[in-house]
Amino acid sequence: MAPRTKMTYRRLGSSGLQLSVLSFGSWVSFDAQMKDDMALECMQAAYDGGCNFFDNAEAYAGGESEAIMGRVIKELGWSRQSYVLSSKFYWGVDGNLRNMRNTLNRKYLMQAINRSLERFQTDFLDLVFCHRPDPNTPIEETVWAMSDLIASGKVLYWGTSEWSADEIRAAWEIAERHHLRKPVMEQPQYNLFARDRVEKEYARLYEDIGLGTTIWSPLASGLLTGKYRGGVPQDSRGALAGYEWLQQRLTEPDTLAKVERLRPIADELGCSMAQLALAWCAANPRVSTVITGASRPSQVLENFESLAVIPLLTPEVMTRIDAAVA
């Protein structure tokens, strides 16, 4: 069953590529919370709802997230022209092998793309992100390697994730100087509790270099859904092994109080708190797409209905939201 609200699309920065305003990502959920069958149901629900961008990363579940997504897409038989597929490189999946972990050196990038394509069972990725900045590799080396990946046909667009504005600008200027493929997009965290990078630090980059953004964690790891006010549910990501670092943040009293101040606003608008938080992110015109996550198809449908909330976010409502989380 597709969402009732029709999907809208935005250009990825200054590129001609159009992404669905709400997209679907696999972080945490694939492998840890669901295997192929449920992943297929969620991805099909997203696709039926107009989603055309599916986000992943080499490091998610040690490569298994990419493999699950690849198997699902093959089983669904989608036309390769109908969706945009991404991955991110930096952390590596090769244990403690020197040159293959926590790096953006040329050797790693050239080998990582081949293994990623094998897991996805595809010939190319539409988007590839440098998952974190690498202080031990010259930015120029990384820019040349990413440009060469595009020239090889294995990647169509490249960008960054959680890079500083200065690092992004340096990469762009190196590419400009050497007539190389420039970074097109950045994937930063953005939500009601993490705003400064998207709203302030990158402000000049949108006009100066045409930066697009594919934002992650719009619900602040589920915090903005309001489901943690009674503790950490056993079926939530906060209860997963390896995510103990989330638990303190998800149950911090002052933060929970701010979340609860959003509840009456959501009630007045006739939406869930998750829908309010997603709509708030999507209402920012500098956001190319909001990456959503889900562990069951009903969550996909609920998330995508947040599109209907965006027109309800008047200046008055936005002011009230700001005051609630201040």
Of 319, 294, 191, 158, nearest in space to 236 by CA: 294
**Residue 126 within a domain:** yes
Give residue 218's pLDDT.
98
**Residue 304 within a domain:** yes
**Residue 1 within a domain:** no
Positions annotated as catalytic residues are: 60
**Residue 230 within a domain:** no
Give residue 232's pLDDT.
65
What is the rounded CA–CA span in Å between residue 294 and residue 276?
16
**Residue 15 within a domain:** yes
Give residue 96's pLDDT.
85
What is the rounded CA–CA span in Å between residue 73 and residue 178?
37
**Residue 276 within a domain:** no
What is the rounded CA–CA span in Å between residue 140 and residue 148?
12
Give residue 233's pLDDT.
60
Answer whether 188's CB lies under 8 Å from 206's CB. no
* Domains of the chain: total: 1
Give residue 46's pLDDT.
98
**Residue 322 within a domain:** no
Which residue range forms the structural domain that includes residue 115? 9-222+282-310
Answer whether 100's CB lies under 8 Å from 137's CB. no
- Cβ burial 163-176 (10 Å sphere, 16+ → b, else e): bebebbbbbbebbe
Q: Which two tokens stand for residue 161?
A: 């994730």
**Residue 249 within a domain:** no
Stretches where the chain sits below pLDDT 50 are none
Alpha-helical runs (H) found in 179-219: 196, 203-208
Q: What is the CATH number of the domain that holds 49?
A: 3.20.20.100
Give residue 1's pLDDT.
59
